[in-house]
Amino acid sequence: MFLRAAIGHRLFPACWLAADTGMRRSEHLGLRWTDIDFDKARVSINRGRVAIVYELCESRGKTANSRRSIDLDPVTVDVPAAWQSQQH
Protein backbone atom coordinates (compact mmCIF):
# COMPACT_ATOMS: atom_id res chain seq x y z
CA MET A 1 0.00 0.00 0.00
CA PHE A 2 2.87 2.35 0.81
CA LEU A 3 4.50 1.90 -2.60
CA ARG A 4 1.17 2.41 -4.37
CA ALA A 5 0.70 5.68 -2.48
CA ALA A 6 4.26 6.77 -3.36
CA ILE A 7 3.85 6.32 -7.14
CA GLY A 8 4.58 9.61 -8.87
CA HIS A 9 6.51 11.07 -5.93
CA ARG A 10 10.06 12.20 -6.72
CA LEU A 11 11.41 9.78 -4.10
CA PHE A 12 9.50 6.76 -5.41
CA PRO A 13 12.63 5.04 -6.84
CA ALA A 14 14.35 5.38 -3.46
CA CYS A 15 11.31 3.94 -1.68
CA TRP A 16 11.15 1.04 -4.13
CA LEU A 17 14.86 0.30 -3.75
CA ALA A 18 14.62 0.37 0.04
CA ALA A 19 11.61 -1.94 0.06
CA ASP A 20 13.15 -4.42 -2.39
CA THR A 21 16.69 -4.66 -1.02
CA GLY A 22 16.25 -4.33 2.73
CA MET A 23 19.20 -1.94 2.90
CA ARG A 24 19.79 -0.11 6.16
CA ARG A 25 18.66 3.52 6.28
CA SER A 26 22.25 4.81 6.50
CA GLU A 27 23.28 2.69 3.50
CA HIS A 28 20.35 3.97 1.49
CA LEU A 29 21.22 7.56 2.33
CA GLY A 30 24.84 6.99 1.28
CA LEU A 31 23.97 5.77 -2.22
CA ARG A 32 25.08 7.60 -5.34
CA TRP A 33 23.88 7.01 -8.90
CA THR A 34 27.29 5.52 -9.69
CA ASP A 35 26.67 2.80 -7.08
CA ILE A 36 23.91 1.32 -9.23
CA ASP A 37 25.13 -0.82 -12.14
CA PHE A 38 22.09 -1.08 -14.39
CA ASP A 39 23.83 -3.41 -16.86
CA LYS A 40 24.83 -5.96 -14.19
CA ALA A 41 21.62 -5.45 -12.14
CA ARG A 42 23.57 -4.75 -8.97
CA VAL A 43 23.86 -2.04 -6.34
CA SER A 44 27.13 -1.59 -4.46
CA ILE A 45 26.98 -0.57 -0.82
CA ASN A 46 30.17 1.42 -0.20
CA ARG A 47 29.23 3.98 2.44
CA GLY A 48 26.60 5.09 4.87
CA ARG A 49 25.40 8.47 6.05
CA VAL A 50 24.26 9.31 9.54
CA ALA A 51 23.49 12.48 11.45
CA ILE A 52 25.67 13.07 14.48
CA VAL A 53 24.80 16.12 16.56
CA TYR A 54 22.82 17.54 13.61
CA GLU A 55 25.76 17.14 11.23
CA LEU A 56 25.72 14.72 8.30
CA CYS A 57 28.64 12.27 8.46
CA GLU A 58 29.71 9.63 5.96
CA SER A 59 31.11 6.30 7.11
CA ARG A 60 32.50 3.17 5.49
CA GLY A 61 30.40 0.92 7.72
CA LYS A 62 31.12 -0.89 10.95
CA THR A 63 32.54 -4.05 9.38
CA ALA A 64 34.00 -5.29 6.11
CA ASN A 65 30.64 -7.02 5.47
CA SER A 66 29.02 -3.58 5.41
CA ARG A 67 30.59 -3.02 2.01
CA ARG A 68 28.84 -5.42 -0.35
CA SER A 69 26.83 -5.80 -3.53
CA ILE A 70 23.16 -6.61 -3.76
CA ASP A 71 21.71 -8.20 -6.88
CA LEU A 72 18.59 -6.52 -8.22
CA ASP A 73 15.60 -8.07 -9.94
CA PRO A 74 14.63 -6.70 -13.40
CA VAL A 75 11.77 -4.54 -12.10
CA THR A 76 13.98 -2.93 -9.46
CA VAL A 77 16.55 -2.10 -12.16
CA ASP A 78 13.87 -0.51 -14.35
CA VAL A 79 12.34 1.74 -11.66
CA PRO A 80 15.37 4.01 -10.96
CA ALA A 81 16.59 3.75 -14.58
CA ALA A 82 13.24 5.05 -15.87
CA TRP A 83 13.20 7.85 -13.29
CA GLN A 84 16.78 8.88 -14.10
CA SER A 85 16.01 9.04 -17.83
CA GLN A 86 13.03 11.33 -17.11
CA GLN A 87 15.30 13.74 -15.23
CA HIS A 88 17.61 14.32 -18.22
pLDDT digits (tens, 9 = 90+) for 50-83: 888 999 888 887 777 778 899 999 988 888 766 6
User: Which CATH number is 2-87 given?
Assistant: 1.10.443.10
Strand partners, 58: 49
| Whether the Cβ atoms of residue 76 and residue 17 lie closer than 8 Å to each other | yes
Report the predicted TM-score, pTM, of the whole model to 2 decimal places. Answer: 0.74
pLDDT confidence of residue 84: 64
What angle separates helix 12-21 from helix 74-87, to the nearest 10 degrees? 160
pLDDT digits (tens, 9 = 90+) for 6-44: 888 888 888 898 898 988 889 999 999 899 898 999 999
Write down the domain spans for the chain.
2-87
Residue 14 C-beta-side C-alpha neighbours within 13 Å:
13
